[in-house]
C-alpha cells in the first residue's frame, strides 16, 4: 500500500464523515417543514433509486440473480431494522432532541454490540474493551449531568433508546450478511435501503399525511439522498478496501466532534468546555470498546 494512496483513503474517509455530520444539521432544517418519517422515507427511497440506476447503467443488474430465498429474508430484515427502525428513530429523535444528544446516543452502539456479542456470540471482551466502557460512561455522565440542564423532550430519549438498540442489531446483522460475501455491498445496500425507504414512506404518508415541500427542502432531501447517502456510502466502501478497521473506527469517531461544532455554528446548540471534555472522553471510550486486536504492521 503506497503512502499517497493510504493518505488519500484517509482524507476520503474524513470527507465522508464530514458529509454524514452535515446530515444532522440539514435534517434539523428540513424537520421545520417536513414530517420526520416522511422525510426519512423520501431520502432513502431516492438514494436507493440512485444506487439502482447506477447498477443498471454499470451492468450489475445480473447480481440480482444471485439472491437466494434466505438472502431475501436477511435483506428484508436488514431493511426493516437498519432503515425503518433505526433511521426512523433517528429522524424522530432529531425532531425532539438537539443534534449533539442524538449523536451521543448513537455512540452507545459499540457498547450495546459488545454486550450482545458477549451474551449471544460468546465473545469475551478484552481488558481494553472493559476500560473503554468505563471511560465512555464517565464521558456520558459528565455531559448529561446535572439532569435539569438537559434540553429536548422526554419522548425523544425513549425514541432514541429504541433507535440505539435497533442500530446495534442492524450493525450485527449487516456484518453477518456482508461476511458471507455472496452478495456485493452495493446490492445489499440498494435492496435493504429500498425496502426500508418504502416502508418509511408508506408509514409517513399514512400517519403524517403529505404537505407541499418548499424548493429549499426539496434540495435538502435530494442532497441528503444523492450526496450524503448514495455517493458517501460508495466512497466509504472504497476507503474500507485501503484502511485498517481501527483506522476506520478512529475516523468515524470524529463525527461526534464534527457534529458538535456544526450544531454550535448552524443550530446555536451550546458548545461549552464541559461539552468538549465529555465528547473527547466519550470518543476515547468508544474507540477502546471497539478495539479487538493489535494493529498489524503495513
Q: Which three cell numbers stand for residue 59?
A: 451492468
What is the average pLDDT across 213-236?
Answer: 94
Query: For the chain, what is the domain count?
Result: 1
Residue 132 in any domain: the answer is yes
pTM (whole model) above 0.75: yes
Split at pLDDT 50, 70, 90, the class of 295 is: very low
Residue 59 maps to a domain: yes
Predicted confidence (pLDDT) at residue 232 exceeds the cutoff of 50? yes
Q: pLDDT, tens digit, for every residue of 21-64? A: 999 999 999 999 999 999 999 999 999 999 999 999 988 888 89
The stretch 240-258 carries a mean pLDDT of 80
Nearest to 141 by CA among 283, 292, 281: 281
Report the pLDDT value the prediction gives residue 186, as an integer from 0 to 100: 87
- Is pLDDT above 60 for 161? yes
Q: Residue 146: its pLDDT value, please?
A: 67
Is residue 39 situated within a structural domain? yes
Of residues 177 and 215, more confidence is placed in: 215
Q: How confident is the model at residue 85 (pLDDT cuts 50, 70, 90)?
A: very high
Considering the domain boundaries, does residue 295 fall inside one?
A: no
Question: Can you spell out the DSSP letters for the chain?
Answer: --HHHHHHHHHHHHHHHHHHHHHHHHHHHHTTTS-HHHHHHHHHHHHHHHHHHHHHHTT-GGGGGG--HHHHHHHHHHIIIIIIIIIHHHHHHHHHS-HHHHHHHHTTHHHHHHHHHHHHS--PPPHHHHHHHHHHHHHHHHHH-SGGG--S-HHHHHHHHHHHHHHHHHHHHHHHHHHT-SS-HHHHHHHHHHHHHHHHHHHHHHHH------HHHHHHHHHHHIIIIIIHHHHHHHHHTTS-HHHHHHHHHHHHHHHHHHHHHHS-----HHHHHHHHHHHHHHHHHH--SPPPP-
Mean pLDDT of the chain: 87
> For residues 231, 235, 240 and 245, what is the CA-based torsion angle, rounded to 10 degrees?
-80
Domain containing 11 equals: 3-290
Cα–Cα distance measured from residue 83 to residue 64, given in angstroms and rounded to the nearest whole number: 21
Dist. CA 162–CA 210, nearest whole Å: 25
Percent of the chain predicted with pLDDT > 70: 91
Q: 95-150, pLDDT tens digit by residue?
A: 999 998 999 888 888 888 877 777 666 667 788 888 888 888 898 888 877 655 66
Contact 251, 82 (CB under 8 A): no
| 297 occurs within a structural domain | no
193 has a pLDDT exceeding 80:
yes
Confidence band (pLDDT; 50, 70, 90) for 298?
very low
Scored b (16 or more CB within 10 A) or e, 217-230 reads: beebbebbbbebbb
- Decide if 296 is inside a domain: no
Residue 298 maps to a domain: no
pLDDT digits (tens, 9 = 90+) for 263-289: 999 999 888 888 889 888 988 888 887
Amino acid at each position: 500500500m503506497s503512502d499517497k494512496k493510504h493518505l488519500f483513503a484517509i482524507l476520503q474517509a474524513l470527507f465522508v464523515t464530514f458529509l454524514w455530520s452535515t446530515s444532522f444539521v440539514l435534517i434539523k432544517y428540513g424537520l421545520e417543514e417536513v414530517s420526520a418519517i416522511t422525510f426519512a422515507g423520501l431520502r432513502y427511497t431516492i438514494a436507493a433509486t440512485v444506487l439502482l440506476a447506477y447498477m443498471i447503467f454499470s451492468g450489475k443488474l445480473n447480481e440480482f440473480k444471485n439472491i437466494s430465498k434466505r438472502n431475501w429474508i436477511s435483506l428484508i430484515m436488514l431493511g426493516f431494522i437498519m432503515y425503518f427502525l433505526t433511521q426512523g428513530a433517528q429522524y424522530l429523535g432529531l425532531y425532539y432532541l438537539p443534534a449533539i444528544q442524538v449523536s451521543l446516543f448513537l455512540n452507545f452502539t459499540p457498547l450495546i454490540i459488545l454486550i450482545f456479542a458477549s451474551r449471544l456470540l460468546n465473545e469475551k471482551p478484552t481488558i481494553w474493551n472493559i476500560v473503554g466502557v468505563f471511560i465512555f460512561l464517565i464521558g456520558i455522565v459528565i455531559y448529561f449531568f446535572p439532569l435539569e440542564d438537559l434540553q429536548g423532550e422526554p419522548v425523544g430519549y425513549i425514541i432514541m433508546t429504541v433507535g440505539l438498540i435497533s442500530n446495534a442489531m442492524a450493525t450485527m446483522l449487516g456484518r453477518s450478511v456482508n461476511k458471507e460475501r455472496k452478495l456485493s455491498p452495493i446490492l445489499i445496500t440498494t435492496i435493504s435501503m429500498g425496502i426500508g425507504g418504502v416502508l418509511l414512506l408508506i408509514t409517513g404518508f399514512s400517519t403524517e399525511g403529505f404537505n407541499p415541500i418548499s424548493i429549499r427542502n426539496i434540495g435538502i432531501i435530494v442532497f441528503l439522498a444523492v450526496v450524503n447517502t448514495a455517493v458517501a456510502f460508495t466512497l466509504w466502501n472504497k476507503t474500507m478496501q485501503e484502511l485498517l478497521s481501527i483506522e476506520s473506527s478512529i475516523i468515524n469517531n470524529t463525527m461526534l466532534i464534527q457534529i458538535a461544532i456544526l450544531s454550535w455554528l448552524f443550530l446555536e446548540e451550546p458548545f461549552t468546555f464541559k461539552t468538549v471534555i465529555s465528547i473527547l472522553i466519550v470518543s476515547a471510550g468508544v474507540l477502546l470498546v471497539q478495539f479487538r486486536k493489535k494493529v498489524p504492521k503495513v
